[in-house]
Amino acid sequence: MTPRSGTRVTLANVAKLAGVAESTASRVLNGYTRNFRVRPEVRQRVLDAARDLKYKPNPMVRSISAKRTNLIAVVGWASDGVNRTAISSAVRLCKAAGKHVCTTFLQPDNAGHELPSWRVDGALALQVRQEQDVEELEAHGMPYVSINGLSGPGGDSVSFHEANGMEQAVAHLADLGHKKIGYLYLEQARVNPRGLPHGSVAARRDGYLDSLERRGLAPMPGWDRFEVTFDTYIRESVVGEGATAIVVYDDVMALYAIQAAHRFGIRVPEDLSIVAFNDELPARMATPPLTTVALPAATAGSKAAELLLERLSAEEDDTIPTRNVVLDEKLVVRQSTAPPPRK
């Protein structure tokens, strides 16, 4: 006998339909394997009953009596499209594995990576930018994975190969014939949690310098000025110094740079080529559409979820070493780059 429509399906309903004890149904549905054995056909009856009844366990009730809550916390702040895309992908995978994901919606200037006041089994961490953040996560003593940030010995990280991404950007411009290639990162266009620039800021800047050096090219003035306006950068580095191409920190900054270039009568890409990073929505909708270095954000989120789920499913006495996964970036060529103008 199935419950009436509109009533909540309980574990007792599942056990009754499967013809097993409630404790057996609970162990099967919670994936218990230690000191618990059940015949395959019995396990399948429980799973079939849960599916037929559309049984959804209450994570709060389960957390009271179980060692595991099946709750995963998202800590940190998703400041841009890359982090939002990554965490969305991670959440989908966690949900498919039967986990519930929660967050405390921390503000951008939050002092750290505070976990929720309720019990959770692990965490997906965003914007881990300094050792203090790592120490705070480590102090919780639970599995965690840092997405596009730092991690310690008790967790894992998934990040991006920024130097290789910058090498692709500079190589593309150099192959087009550009010799005066600038770099643009302006603080006023970024919201930095707690005033801490993301590690990719330095990584892309250093990659720019290294890529130019390998080609015997000099960096354009302005590559290290973070406090000026976009108009000032275009006036000094493009109009004043004659840069014919610039690599911009991200897609949003590139849109500001295009607007500033237009105010000086500079056309993109006829007079100035622009390569950006991230390949989020603004890149495809820009005028012209941006050539950009795409970060595999969705892949990063899925990989982070996989690593965390592996830690959560490990036996208590298992030792899993720290894993630092670095994903390759990929240049996507659109209409914002062209050969330099003829003099």
Q: Are residues 142 and 213 in the same domain?
A: no
**Residue 192 falls within a domain, yes or no?**
yes
Q: Are residues 113 and 151 in the same domain?
A: yes
Distance (Å, rounded) from C-alpha 293 to C-alpha 271? 21
- Would you say 89 and 301 are in contact if contact means Cβ atoms under 8 Å apart? yes
Q: Are residues 255 and 242 in the same domain?
A: yes
**Residue 96 falls within a domain, yes or no?**
yes
Cβ contacts of 244 within 8 Å, gap of 6 or more: 178, 179, 180, 181, 271, 272, 273, 340, 341
**Residue 84 falls within a domain, yes or no?**
yes
Q: Are residues 103 and 140 in the same domain?
A: yes
Q: Are residues 191 and 219 in the same domain?
A: yes
Q: Are residues 107 and 212 in the same domain?
A: no
**Residue 336 falls within a domain, yes or no?**
no
Q: Are residues 263 and 150 in the same domain?
A: no
**Domain coverage including residue 30:** 11-57
Distance (Å, rounded) from C-alpha 327 to C-alpha 64? 39
**Residue 1 falls within a domain, yes or no?**
no
**Residue 332 falls within a domain, yes or no?**
no
Q: What secondary structure does DSSP assign to 190-247, as a single string?
A: S--GGG---HHHHHHHHHHHHHHHHTT-PPPTTTT--SS-HHHHIIIIIIIT--SEEE
Q: Are residues 272 and 216 in the same domain?
A: yes
Which CATH number is 144's domain given? 3.40.50.2300
Q: Are residues 127 and 240 in the same domain?
A: no
Q: Are residues 303 and 233 in the same domain?
A: no
How confident is the prediction along the chain (343 residues), in pLDDT tens digits per residue? 555 555 678 888 999 999 998 888 887 887 665 566 788 898 899 989 988 888 876 654 554 445 677 889 998 876 667 888 999 999 999 999 989 898 866 555 555 677 777 888 899 998 888 888 888 888 888 899 999 999 998 899 999 999 999 999 999 999 999 999 999 999 875 656 556 778 899 999 999 999 999 999 999 999 998 889 999 999 999 999 999 999 999 999 999 999 999 999 999 999 999 999 999 888 888 999 999 999 999 999 999 999 999 998 876 656 788 999 999 999 999 999 999 998 6
Distance (Å, rounded) from C-alpha 90 to C-alpha 297? 10
Which CATH number is 53's domain given? 1.10.260.40
Q: Are residues 130 and 237 in the same domain?
A: no
Q: Are residues 82 and 143 in the same domain?
A: yes
| Domain count within the chain | 3
